[in-house]
């Protein structure tokens, strides 16, 4: 789940909505169902994410009557996940990693996805498409600029 948010920029609601048939194993593509913006999209799946999904679906996912990709394990086995369940799992992962106690949201992973791509020189339009945004302002909100990293590039003001 975390890799889908971090490497594909998915919202938690999109992770919850994923179905096994949304994964095209052969073409390495993921069909993301429409959620918040009413826009679905198809994304390439990086090899690392594809391997993790394959391992989970084939080896770790409990046998269940639902076709949701991610389901509950310890309690209510096989039931689809809720937003609060994903948020709790991500918060626990942050704590295990030693991140600040104030870190709790899944959206931080989506922000990280965009920030990494911006640092690599990605343009806003393709990012907006990847995120399923209709407006560039929504995407700009995610694209944090590394002010300290830019400081050495600043030229002195002419006198």
Q: Which are the catalytic amino acids?
A: 11, 36, 107, 110, 133, 142
Question: What is the DSSP code (8-state) at residue 79?
Answer: P
Q: What angle (nearest 5°) sits at the alpha carbon of residue 41, between those of residues 38 and 44?
A: 155
Alpha-carbon distance of 114 to 40, in angstroms, equals 18
Helix (H) / strand (E) element for 108: namely helix 107-119
> Helix or strand or coil: residue 73?
coil
Strands, E, within 12-112: which ranges?
A: 23-24, 29-32, 41-44
Alpha-carbon distance of 150 to 135, in angstroms, equals 26
Q: What angle (nearest 5°) sits at the alpha carbon of residue 82, between those of residues 6 and 64?
A: 100
């Amino acid at each position: 789940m975390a890799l889908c948010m971090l490497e594909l920029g998915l919202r938690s609601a999109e992770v919850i909505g994923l179905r096994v048939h949304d994964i095209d194993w052969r073409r390495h593509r993921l069909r993301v169902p429409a959620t918040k913006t009413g826009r679905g999209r198809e994304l390439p799946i990086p090899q690392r994410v594809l391997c993790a999904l394959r391992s989970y679906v084939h080896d770790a996912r409990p046998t269940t009557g639902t076709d949701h990709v991610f389901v509950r394990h310890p309690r209510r086995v096989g039931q689809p996940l809720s937003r609060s369940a994903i948020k709790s799992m991500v918060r626990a992962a942050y704590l295990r990693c030693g991140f600040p106690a104030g870190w709790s949201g899944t959206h931080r992973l989506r922000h990280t996805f965009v920030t990494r791509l911006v640092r690599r020189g990605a343009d806003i339009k393709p990012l907006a498409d990847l995120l399923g945004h209709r407006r560039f302002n929504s995407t700009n909100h995610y694209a944090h600029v590394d002010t300290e990293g830019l400081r050495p590039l600043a030229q002195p003001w002419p006198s």
